[in-house]
Amino acid sequence: MSVAVAAPHPAAVQAARTVVAAGGNAFDAALAAAGALAVVYPHQCSVGGDLVAMVRPAGSPVCAVLSVGAAGLGARLGPVPFRGPHSVTVPGVVAGWAAVRSLGARLSLGELLAPAVRLAAEGVDKSPGLLRAIANGLDVIRADPGLSAVLLPPTLVQPALARTLSGIAHDWRSFYSGPLVAGLWALGSPLTAADLAAHTAEVVEPLRRTVGGVTWHAAPPPVQGATFLAVVGSPSLPADSRRAQAARHALLGDPRGGPIDLDGLLLRTPDAFPPGFEATVPTGDTVAVTAVDDDGNAVTLIQSVFESFGAGLLEPTTGVVLHNRGSSFSPDPSHPASIAPGMRPPHTLCPTIGLTDGDVVALGCQGGRAQPWILAQLAPDVLTADPAELVSRPRWIVRGAELILEPGLPDLGDTTGLTVTITVGPHDDAGHVQLARLRGGVLEAGSDPRADGVAAVLPQ
């Protein structure tokens, strides 16, 4: 068996190479890469973040894995700070790894996390992307003793994280009952042992839409998969992306709290959003891993701490960087994303799998709330273009009322009401796309040059 893999850091692909050589498939490759990224990319992901994945076991339908952590049972209505202990919801990554593994992996979690444990214990050089994030986030890092101790020395060595990963490899459930509970309390988090113990990953039916002969599968709320399906294939993509952005801002929330207006999110209802809509849109820090093997197994997995370095906290006894997903809650009690005990915040992660007769493509990216229209720009050519060329093309994003363009884009058509800004070159805000596919029996992959990653077809 061979596996096509794309990830935003070479160490992640090397971890995938190790497990494929040991007999692993696309599931194993994606999980080993995800574990490595939780070590080498702490500005974008961590075992202290959340996970959303789309998976397709060979011969079976696509399903969505949602491991999105909730607010604690003590949560109360009101504004949530952007960073700090009160922005932390229950971390979902670890339960998400276990759920993805149960759907088709061949190797044990210990085998899959062994490369990550070595990376954390022995140390790695900082990648260009991480060095940029450290330079841009020095105030956040210096304000937290845990982040400072790990990120300011020349080499990234994380013995506490190595111990945590070893514990997860032995018994992943221990993550939700072990030293992290006391560590969160010491940092001032209101999360309790009961809050962490209550977390489960959900395996659910995806949303679907067929465009141009490709059936796209995306995750349901509280994830913004509907926003991607609303704009994929649109002939006036920038304008529709702004409408979709407004719909997401107004309608996306957790179905646990009540019905979500899917028709509105999918733009099937009349445009009820004012032309003057503007939103504050954080870019978000996230990693995507994609893997497809020659049996047709496919995984696109995204894990994230939300903003760069998440809540701005690294819990020192476990080495875990904590996310700040709670900052996405609305303080408005009438909003679908209102904060309440046990509710999950609206989520930016937007992995997708496309299927045709005999072909499969796994697609995902970094990019915060812009992920749907980043991926929608690639979708028309995702099964025909060279993967490396496709992920390198100039792109645009919509942020509120601003259209941000990389140089070299063709005419975009209707951009009514949008202020245009042109960047000097490729830009992180345009996303870090990862793509793996099986087309006509041939495996291929592409990794976005805006990140530090590589793509490879790995032989067993």
79: Cβ contacts below 8 Å, ≥ 6 apart: 331
pLDDT at 273 (0 to 100)? 53
pLDDT per residue as tens digits for the range 275-333? 444 544 445 568 999 999 999 999 999 999 999 999 999 999 999 999 999 999 998 99
Inside any domain, residue 266: no
Inside any domain, residue 285: yes
Number of domains in the chain: 1
- CB-CB contact of 71 with 42 (8 Å): no
d(CA 460, CA 446): 19
Element (H, E) at 216: strand 214-218
The letter for the amino acid at 292 is: V
Neighbouring CB atoms inside 10 A of 215's CB total 14
Q: What is the CATH number of the domain that holds 55?
A: 3.60.20.40
Inside any domain, residue 289: yes
- CB-CB contact of 70 with 169 (8 Å): no
d(CA 34, CA 11): 10
pLDDT at 187 (0 to 100)? 97
Two tokens, residue 421: 């800004």
Single out the residue of 322, 236, 288 nearest to residue 453, CA to CA: 288
Inside any domain, residue 232: no
pLDDT at 71 (0 to 100)? 97
Inside any domain, residue 73: yes
Inside any domain, residue 385: yes
Which residue ranges of the chain lie beneath pLDDT 50? 274-277, 279-282
**Is 286 known to be catalytic?**
yes
pLDDT per residue as tens digits for the range 64-89? 999 999 999 999 888 899 999 999 99
Give the structural domain span for 374. 2-204+280-459
Inside any domain, residue 408: yes
The answer to whether the Cα torsion of 151, 155, 156, 157 is positive or negative is negative
The letter for the amino acid at 412 is: L
d(CA 32, CA 12): 7
Inside any domain, residue 168: yes
The answer to whether the Cα torsion of 23, 26, 27, 32 is positive or negative is positive
pLDDT at 284 (0 to 100)? 54
d(CA 45, CA 34): 9
pTM over 0.75: yes
- CB-CB contact of 162 with 35 (8 Å): no
pLDDT at 285 (0 to 100)? 67
The catalytic position among 286, 290, 300, 318 is: 286
d(CA 45, CA 142): 19
pLDDT per residue as tens digits for the range 376-416? 999 999 999 999 999 999 999 888 778 889 999 887 777 76
